[in-house]
Amino acid sequence: MWKQVDEGFWKENRESKVDEVADAVQDIIDLVRFEGDKALIDLTMKFDKTALDDLEVSRDEIEEAYENIDPVLLDELENAAGYIQRFHELQVPEDLWLREVEPGITLGVKSTPLERVGCYIPGGRASYPSTALMCIIAARVAGVQEVICCTPPPISPLTLVAMDIAGADEIYKVGGAQAIAAMALGTESIEPVQKIVGPGNVFVTAAKTMLRKDVEIDFPAGPSEIGVLADGTADAEFVAADLLAQAEHDPSSACLLVTTDPDFPAEVWSCMEDQMKNAPRREIMLSAMENSGYIIEEDMELAAEIMNGIAPEHLSIQVRNPLDILSKITNAGSIFIGPYTPIAAGDYASGTNHVLPTAGHAMTMSGLNVAHFRKTSTVQMISEGGLETLAPTIIAISKAEGLHAHSDSVRMRSRKKE
């Protein structure tokens, strides 16, 4: 069950399964494209066994959800929302900045929020109010005007309340690939969005990937992953707890321990066995262990290189000198340092975003943040004197490229001055 593996095992195991479901997802996309709301209603009955009269959640349904959750839990949801908002507000760029880089040449950047985005909030084996907070609050802080959500029915009261607390404008009882298609293409009830964010299963991920010609997306975000870098100073119970916390998400989740201590994997497994004995999601954890394992490396620098090659969604650093190792990490979705920084802190309350790239995509992509919901335009403002400074460069290069009108557009300004 808990086995020694190599990088190849991990990478092969985490390879995207999008191609395997592409035909089925294309059929769903085509149905939504041509049949609109009818397709959503039919597919919801087929996959979620739920009959829908209306696709959109009403205000009455939201108010009823508030009545069905513990007031203490409501307070904690609001606390989490506050922590998430606080961190994301630190990321908001200036709407416009201008700098005179030399006399007569002023350059800058104008940042503008997107107008309408869609957030996919997964359901299925668990409810994810935390994901609703992460997606919607990041968009709201970024300044997005309209934020819509799709999530599979039946929607748990907790998730519904979280979407309302976070500030969703529209909530739809639609899940799976059909929800992605609806937000990308639009239907009679759902207006299309500019960008779709949020994690999901392989069908959701496939739909996001296949619809990129119609809508922008954040990144592929599939089953949960965790990588742990540990030496002999790490606490085996803590490491085991973090591994299992991610393993309980889904049978397709994966956990990897890379350590310089050859005795440590056995200690961790012993702790995991103890912690799984009475775990409510034990069977899911055990299934995830089939995708998991450990690597023993000679020194921590080599261990860090292995982790960079894997680019895990979550990376926990449990070593004597964690900041030294942090400086060597280049590829990870979100990084957790030290024995008292569990992955669950980032999942729920620290304020960092838990919507992260998986399957190695952290090599080139960032976790969800305010920048995902904004676009930038460069700005330049040049005086006559500034253009004189740039003119020789513009004319020489444009002539070399054979684009003579470019150089003429500069020369005529000089002639006007004369």
Q: Hey, how many other C-beta atoms are within 10 angstroms of the C-beta on 416?
A: 8
* Integer angstrom CA distances of residue 378 from 231, 244, 387: 47, 46, 18
Selected catalytic residue, list 313, 354, 361, 372: 313
The shares of helix, strand and coil residues in the chain, as percent rounded to the nearest 5, are 50, 15, 35
Cα–Cα dist 301/329, whole Å: 10
Question: For helices 18-35 and 176-185, what crossing angle results, to 10°?
Answer: 50
Query: CB of 10 within 8 A of CB of 290?
Result: no
Query: CB of 295 within 8 A of CB of 6?
Result: yes
Q: Is residue 354 annotated as a catalytic residue, yes or no?
A: no
DSSP code string of 4-54? B--HHHHHHHHS--HHHHHHHHHHHHHHHHHHTHHHHHHHHHHHH----S-
- Pairing assessment for the beta strands 105-113 and 96-102 based on DSSP bridges: antiparallel
Cα–Cα dist 410/145, whole Å: 40
Cα–Cα dist 301/308, whole Å: 11
401 CA to centre of own chain: 41
Please list the residues that pair with 108 across neighbouring strands: 98, 379
Cα–Cα dist 309/20, whole Å: 25
Cα–Cα dist 93/97, whole Å: 9
Which amino acid is residue 283, in one-letter code? Answer: E
Q: Which residues of 269-284 are buried (b: 16+ CB within 10 A; e: fewer)?
A: bebbeebbeeeebeeb
Closest CA to 1 of 248, 232, 265: 265
Cα–Cα dist 28/32, whole Å: 6
Query: CB of 40 within 8 A of CB of 55?
Result: yes
DSSP code string of 126-167? S--HHHHHHHHHHHHHHT-SEEEEE-PSSPPHHHHHHHHHHT
Q: Is residue 170 annotated as a catalytic residue, yes or no?
A: no
Selected catalytic residue, list 225, 249, 267, 314: 314
Task: Indicate which residues carry an active-site annotation.
Answer: 313-314
